Amino acid sequence: MPTPFALVMTTCGGKANAELIATTLVEKRLAACVQMFPIASVYRWENALQKAEEWMLLGKIRAADYADVEAAIAAVHPYSTPEIIEIGIEKGAQAYLNWIASVTERQ
């Protein structure tokens, strides 16, 4: 049975952009935590094969907040078409899920 929580995934071109996105989500209580790590990407863009060093971000969110999370990412994201994907959390350690709930509670 799915939980009411999800991961949101996005990529961006640099550490500074990654930190801005992560900080924005956590400060607004839209994400409990955002993990950032460098990756190498290969993709097709504007009809050409592209290779890029990027940063991957994984945020732990309330699934009900996805629209707000997407809007917050899009507002500060440098890409014209950013990857913003939600992946439902099917199961998780109850104490961790309780923590996500507690730190993403908004007034």
CATH code for residues 5-103 = 3.30.70.120
Has residue 107 got a pLDDT over 80? no
pTM (two decimals):
0.94
Looking at residue 84, its pLDDT comes to 98
**DSSP codes joined into one string, 29-93:** TS-SEEEEEEEEEEEEETTEEEEEEEEEEEEEEEGGGHHHHHHHHHHH--SSS--EEEEE-----
Residue of 32, 21, 38 whose CA lies nearest to 75:
21
Q: Where are the domains of the chain?
A: 5-103
Instruction: Give the model confidence (pLDDT) of 38-86 as tens digits.
Output: 999 999 999 999 999 999 999 999 999 999 999 999 999 999 999 999 9
| 33-43 pLDDT, tens digit each | 999 999 999 99
